[in-house]
Amino acid sequence: MTPRHDTDGAESPGAVAARLTGRPVVGERRLSGTLAEVTLGDGRLVMVKRGDDPGAAVAEAAGLRWLAAAGTVRIPAVHGHDRNWLVTDRIASVPPSARAAARFGRELAALHDTGAPAFGAPPPDGPQDAYIGRAPMRNVPGADWPRWYAGHRVLPYLRRAVDDGTVRAAEATVIETVCERLPELAGPAEPPARLHGDLWNGNVLWGDDGRVWLIDPAAHGGHRETDLAMLQLFGCPHLAEVLDGYRQVAPLADGWRERVGLHQLFPLLVHTVLFGRGYAEQALAVARASLTV
């Protein structure tokens, strides 16, 4: 039987799973300080995750449900949550394959096409104050992507990085210039897409059902090229097949390859705030490159 509390008095992941699912628990295996695999009495395995900040689990649960409602990419079911804890399906994974990657690309295109009410729109039952990883992220709706992206995705993290001393004020001007020129750099206007929002390789699971599953979203309405740029930022197995599958369903506007850096500014600045100067150098490099296209 799983203990109701850890030795320090905190509620154990097994106890959390029992409380939030209403089902008995027969085992638990800690994977990290914030993540555990729990076996329910009916034999099902679930993941129990503790949010880094109060309310993070609420935002993540809302994002998972919104993405799942599209019926496109596979998303783990949410079995329960509160402000601090989230219980979802546990996904059995296998090595990546080109076939699964191409299918993922087609399904991601379909997910984006389901749309969002506005750029920056949160999931219907999600909070305005959400998170991307451990960084706060505000979902403030806007109608104009260049203005919204600059004001709510790039500049807040740039200002934080400058305040922290990670980016020097003189260096920040190149990123500010990119923001000023976004209307001419952003390419053709597109409607808001339904984004995963934190689509790096670690949040892409290759399921044993031959399909890709997405976890840990920072879901919101945004530009579809942002999800694709984030996939490319930290590498993704069979990326060429993912992009080919995507473009079979939803061709990308001319010049999309040259705009990848623009869309990577957001995650690079988030990483700058969270992890330091190395990511600041990358953000400055892609900003300079964007101005020379």
Instruction: Answer whether residue 241 is part of any domain.
Output: yes
pTM: 0.94
Instruction: Answer whether residue 138 is part of any domain.
Output: yes
Tens-place pLDDT, residues 115-158: 999 999 999 999 999 999 999 999 999 999 999 999 999 999 99
Q: Which of 54, 89, 124 is a domain's end point?
A: 89
Q: Report the b/e string of 83-97 with b at 16+ CB within 10 A.
A: ebbbbbbebeeeebe
Instruction: Answer whether residue 210 is part of any domain.
Output: yes
Q: Is 222 in the same domain as 118?
A: yes
Q: What percent of the chain has pLDDT over 70?
A: 97
Instruction: Answer whether residue 6 is part of any domain.
Output: no
Q: Is 70 in the same domain as 118?
A: no
Q: Is 102 in the same domain as 72?
A: no
Q: Is 160 in the same domain as 231?
A: yes
Parent domain of 77: 13-89
Q: Which of 60, 89, 118 is a domain's end point?
A: 89
Give me the residue label for tokens 């990511």.
Answer: 279
Q: Which of 63, 89, 115 is a domain's end point?
A: 89
Instruction: Report the DSSP pairing between strands 129-132 and 193-195.
Output: unpaired
- Write the DSSP string, 197-254: S---GGGEEEBTTSSEEE-S---EEE-HHHHHHHHHHS--TTHHHHHHHHHHHSPPPT
82, 164, 198, 254: the active-site residue? 198
Domain count along the chain:
2
What the block records as the tokens of 134 is: 């451990």
Q: Is 109 in the same domain as 138?
A: yes
Name the residue among 124, 105, 111, 148 with its Cα closest to residue 266.
148
Give me the residue label for tokens 């506007």.
Answer: 253
Q: Is the pLDDT of residue 3 over 50?
A: no
Tens-place pLDDT, residues 257-273: 999 999 999 999 999 99
Q: Is 198 a catalytic residue?
A: yes
Going by pLDDT thresholds of 50, 70 and 90, the confidence category of residue 99 is: very high
Q: Is 179 in the same domain as 44?
A: no
Q: Is 250 in the same domain as 159?
A: yes
Alpha-carbon span 237 to 132, nearest angstrom: 22
CATH (domain of 74):
3.30.200.20
Tens-place pLDDT, residues 102-118: 999 999 999 999 999 99
> Do 272 and 157 touch, CB atoms closer than 8 A?
yes
